[in-house]
Structure 1
């Protein structure tokens, strides 16, 4: 049964990731991977909310593992950072690494804080 929750979340997360990435990236005329940055920060926020809300195991499987697992992407983040470096956009690559980690952590902390405010 648990794997079905992960699959269901992934079935929503994967297309959501693609559509969000395309929508965000189409609004920026830049080599910076704004779409990947956005989905990773959103996923961090959702995981923070789940953690702060002390969500049950089924909700964590559905939303945390399934949805966020398919929504966020470390492999694309790594690939896009590598491509930025290879094309000479080293500053953008560094900003992507530092900014993604900082924004992801900030979003996760914000999610925990928001959950605490909403459910305590």
Structure 2
């Protein structure tokens, strides 16, 4: 049953990521991968909040593993970094790396803090 909850959460997370990221890319046209950054930072915060809440294993399987696992996108993040490097767009590349890693860690901690209080 746990695998089914993870699968359903993953399906919904992937669709949500695609929809939100696509909307952001259309709304804010830029050479900066803003859609992926937003989705990953939001996902970091929400996963931190989920962990802070201490959800039961069933809810965690659905939301934490399934939904958030598919909502955030490490592979797209890495691909966009490689593409920025290949285009020699180093200022954007460094800003994207720094904001993704530092922002993700900070937002995960904030999410845990808020979720546990």
* TM-score higher than 0.5: yes
Structure 2 distance, partners of 1:47, 1:64, is: 6
Helix, strand or coil at the partner of 1:88: coil
For structure 2, the residue ranges without an aligned partner over 5 or more in a row are none
Helix, strand or coil at the partner of 2:27: coil
Structure 2 distance, partners of 1:86, 1:26, is: 23
How far the C-alpha of 1:41 sits from its partner, in A, is 0.8
Helix, strand or coil at the partner of 1:16: helix
Structure 1 distance, partners of 2:84, 2:27, is: 19
Of residues 24-33 and 74-83 in structure 1, the stretch that sits farther from structure 2 once superposed is: 24-33
Considering only aligned residues, what root-mean-square deviation do their CA atoms show, in Å?
0.9
Deviations 1:14-66 (A, max 9, x none): 11000110111112231110000011111111110111111111111100110
State the match for 2:63 in structure 1.
Answer: 63
Structure 2 distance, partners of 1:68, 1:61, is: 10
State the match for 2:18 in structure 1.
Answer: 18
State the match for 1:116 in structure 2.
Answer: 116
State the match for 1:100 in structure 2.
Answer: 100
State the match for 1:49 in structure 2.
Answer: 49
Structure 2 distance, partners of 1:54, 1:34, is: 30
Structure 2 distance, partners of 1:6, 1:26, is: 30
For these two proteins, the number of residue pairs brought into alignment is 117
Structure 2 distance, partners of 1:19, 1:104, is: 21
The structure 1 segments of at least 4 consecutive aligned residues displaced by more than 2 Å after TM superposition are: none
For structure 1, the residue ranges without an aligned partner over 5 or more in a row are none
Structure 2 distance, partners of 1:87, 1:27, is: 23
